[in-house]
Structure 1
Amino acid sequence: MSQREAHIEKLKARLDEWNAEIHKLEAKAQAAQADMKIQYEEQLAAMREQRDKAREKMHELQDASEDAWEHMREGMESAWEHMSKAFKDAMNRFR
């Protein structure tokens, strides 16, 4: 497996983790009182947005040529870290 493939697999695993966290929060939102439900829904929307941005970046990496991937990797890692932090911040608000 190339470094590129390994990196993409790592990103896929992170997306799977995020999806699991979103599902947990969705379950909490369903059980919440009306006022809290609105807050949960707002956080869920923010988390889904971050997840979708991350998925787009991963697809860009998958579609890039090997040479382009090497040039994109550093910028993509920075973008993923930013998205990961935003996702974690959103999750921590309801733990």
Structure 2
Amino acid sequence: MSDRELYRQKRQAQLDEWRAEVAKLRARASGASAGTQLEMRKKIKELESKIDEGKAKLSQLAEASDDAWESLKDGVESAWDTLKSAVGDAAGKFKK
């Protein structure tokens, strides 16, 4: 298996973990007060959007030529850093 494919699989696994974290947040939101529910739902929508962006970046990476792969990898890393921070912030803010 190529380094590129291993990298893609690693990032896909991370996306799956973040989707699970968002599912936990959604479950917590259902038991929260109305105001907190609204805030959590807004944050969940933002996270889902960022996860979708990450998925799109992975698709671009998979379709890229060998020459373009390295430059696209930098964009993926940047998106991952942003997403990791957003998921961590949301999980910490809404922890019970």
TM-score, L = length of structure 1: 0.89
User: Whole-Å Cα distance in 2 between the matches of residues 42 and 78 of structure 1?
Assistant: 23
1:79 deviates by: 2.5
Paired residues of 1:50 and 1:87 also in contact (CA < 8 A):
no
Determine the structure 2 residue equivalent to 1:19. Answer: 19
Counterpart residue identity of residue 86, structure 1? A
Paired residues of 1:46 and 1:90 also in contact (CA < 8 A):
no
The answer as to 2:40 corresponding to 1:40 is: yes
User: Whole-Å Cα distance in 2 between the matches of residues 69 and 53 of structure 1?
Assistant: 17
1:91 deviates by: 2.1
Determine the structure 2 residue equivalent to 1:89. Answer: 89
Residue pairs, 1:66-85, within 5 angstroms = 66-85=66-85
Q: Which runs of 5+ in 1 are unaligned?
A: none
The CA RMSD measured in Å over matched residues stands at 1.3
Runs of 4+ in 1 over 6 A off after TM superposition: none
Q: Give the count of matched residue pairs.
A: 95
User: Whole-Å Cα distance in 1 between the matches of residues 8 and 44 of structure 2?
Assistant: 25
Paired residues of 2:29 and 2:36 also in contact (CA < 8 A):
yes
Identity %: 38
Counterpart residue identity of residue 9, structure 2? E
TM-score, L = length of structure 2: 0.88
1:28 deviates by: 0.9
